[in-house]
């Protein structure tokens, strides 16, 4: 899970070695969950780095690669924060309405995040 005090480390990466054009490829997700109890709803939004799905050409891993991949993870958390903020501003009737609104917001945020991630890669030349 993303934490400001816990940057990614080389030993975190447990994915398979790849031999493609990319030096590395990170996999992250924004996990969303709605829980209801006694008529009250709570929403949990967490950003995860999927360590076992991180792909890297191990001989190429250096500090620049680590910084670049950390930034991808940070960007994912930035959009999770945006989703949390937008969720605090909506009113829901019940769990079904909450799920619909959360899913709708998530789709929009996810598209924005993907564009942002692509722009970051293009501007940094993937390094």
CA distance 48 to 38: 29
Summarised one tens digit per residue, pLDDT across range 10-34 is 777 666 655 555 666 677 899 999 9
pLDDT at 61: 63
pLDDT above 70: residue 71: yes
Contacts of 124 (CB under 8 A, 6+ apart): 68
Summarised one tens digit per residue, pLDDT across range 32-58 is 999 887 778 889 999 998 766 665 555
The answer to whether residue 2 is domain-embedded is: no
Quick check: pTM over 0.75?
yes
Residue numbers of the domain that contains 83:
10-124
Counted domains in the chain: 1
Summarised one tens digit per residue, pLDDT across range 81-113 is 999 999 999 988 888 999 999 999 999 999 999
Q: Please state at what angle helix 63-88 crosses helix 95-124, rounded to 10 degrees.
A: 150
* CB-facing half-sphere around the CA of 66: CA atoms within 13 A: 12
């Amino acid at each position: 899970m993303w934490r400001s005090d816990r940057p990614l480390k080389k030993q975190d990466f447990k994915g398979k070695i790849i031999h493609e054009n990319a030096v590395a490829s990170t996999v992250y997700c924004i996990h969303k969950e709605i829980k209801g109890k006694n008529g009250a709803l709570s929403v949990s939004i967490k950003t995860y780095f999927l360590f076992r799905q991180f792909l890297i050409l191990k001989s190429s891993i250096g500090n620049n690669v680590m910084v670049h991949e950390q930034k991808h993870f940070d960007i994912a958390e930035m959009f999770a924060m945006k989703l949390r903020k937008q969720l605090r501003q909506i009113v829901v009737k019940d769990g079904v309405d909450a799920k619909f609104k959360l899913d709708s917001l998530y789709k929009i945020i996810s598209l924005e995040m993907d564009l942002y991630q692509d722009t970051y890669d293009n501007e940094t030349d993937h390094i």
